[in-house]
Chain A
Amino acid sequence: EPEVTQTPSHQVTQMGQEVILRCVPISNHLYFYWYRQILGQKVEFLVSFYNNEISEKSEIFDDQFSVERPDGSNFTLKIRSTKLEDSAMYFCASSPGTYNSPLHFGNGTRLTVT
């Protein structure tokens, strides 16, 4: 069964550094998402992306965050200047966009900001 793939599985960075989290959604999917889970807390919506533009974003998704689909397969989340509170598990997800279609999550990237 096709999967959403995320790399790296774990990234450690210093405060103030830029990070790029990478995702390869399922190939025929049209909608792409990033979610975040701070350790021990619930999963929170960050942003959705459709037709090469952001379709919706949460209050968490401020100017420090950006998303891009640089080619036909990758979907990236960039954090410009990381803060300690950005430490979390970041999940990428995709969906086909058809009625009754499920939402598939990747295995996540654990970001640790020191």
Chain B
Amino acid sequence: AQKVTQAQTEISVVEKEDVTLDCVYETRDTTYYLFWYKQPPSGELVFLIRRNSFDEQNEISGRYSWNFQKSTSSFNFTITASQVVDSAVYFCALSERGGYSGGSNYKLTFGKGTLLTVNP
């Protein structure tokens, strides 16, 4: 069975600090996808990134960066120079690709989320 562990329940930082959110996953599949979503206080789920299991390249997007390491089954997320608007719950999620119809059927397994609070 798939499992996603976000060991950090809550993190509190001061604005401009860098912060890394940890994500460790378990799966028996060789083909899978990893995601990060942001859930601000308003409640919606905002897609941040998707990475497939064959692509271990790290990625940087503005202040966000992701470190995917298959050897340790980790997909960590770093926010550089954090801002108050980054305050949210961040979810890591894992999906095998498939389903009865194959293709891009996303049955996501989410972690429990990390509540990030950025204080001014």
Chain A residues proximal to chain B, CB less than 8 Å: 30-31, 33, 35, 41-45, 48, 50-51, 55-56, 58, 89, 91, 93, 95-108, 110
Contacts and interface: CB of A to CB of B under 8 A. Distances in A.
A54 B43 CA distance: 27
25 contacts: A33-B106, A41-B112, A42-B91, A42-B111, A44-B110, A45-B107, A48-B99, A48-B106, A50-B105, A51-B101, A55-B100, A55-B101, A55-B105, A58-B107, A99-B104, A101-B104, A102-B50, A103-B47, A103-B50, A103-B108, A104-B47, A105-B44, A107-B43, A108-B45, A110-B43
A103 B35 contact: yes
Interface residues of B, number: 26
Name which of B42, B95, B100, B103 has the most chain A CB atoms within 10 A of its CB: B103
Nearest to B55: A100
A91 B45 CA distance: 9
Contacts of A95: 104, 106
A89 B109 CA distance: 16
Interface of B: 35, 37, 42-45, 47, 50, 52, 91, 93, 95, 99-101, 103-113
Contact of B52 (A41, A58, A100, A107): A100
A38 B43 CA distance: 12
B110 A42 contact: yes
A48 B44 contact: no
B99 A56 contact: yes
A30 B35 CA distance: 20
A48 B95 CA distance: 13
Nearest to B98: A56
A59 B14 CA distance: 41
A102 B46 CA distance: 11
Given A98-B104, A107-B43, 4 more contacts: A41-B112, A50-B99, A55-B105, A102-B47
